[in-house]
Amino acid sequence: MIAELKKYPVQIPITVAWGEMDAFQHVNNVVYFKYFEAVRIKYFEETGFFEAMEKESAGPILAQTNCQYKLPLTYPDELIVGTRIKSIGRTSCVMEYAVYSKKIKKIAAIGQGVIVMINYQTGEKKVIPESVKQRMIALENEADV
């Protein structure tokens, strides 16, 4: 395991595509949010958010997000994108992301997102189901912090 990613219990590999680069010859800033989305969905799959959506007509939405660009990424490169939960509240959680470049051998970007559990019919916040919360805690406890 890559030392810089030990604290991220969910990780996915991503290959940088040629078309993700912009006129300045590096991966466009918007693409990093796609990387964050991909690992966030994997985290949701592993913790049961989607099962909760089916049972309760409620699910996670991204309420806020940010990215700190540390180093430019370029094609070709292989990335490892990791995520973890920084904090869990009653109706929301804060998720952290890291984008590791195998070519540079460093973390190229870090980010954060606020995820809110919401009833899709009413738009109201919902409590994160206990089963999901327990799976999140178990997954986080597996990480090597």
pLDDT tens for each residue of 7-37:
999 999 999 999 999 999 999 999 999 999 9
Comparing CA positions, the residue from 98, 89, 95 lying closest to residue 125 is 89
CATH class of 3-142: alpha beta
Give the torsion sign (CA, 12, 18, 24, 29): negative
How do the domains of the chain map onto residue ranges? 3-142
Per residue of the chain (145 residues), give pLDDT as tens: 799 999 999 999 999 999 999 999 999 999 999 999 999 999 999 998 888 888 878 889 999 999 999 999 999 999 999 999 999 999 999 999 999 999 999 999 999 999 999 998 899 999 999 999 999 999 999 887 6
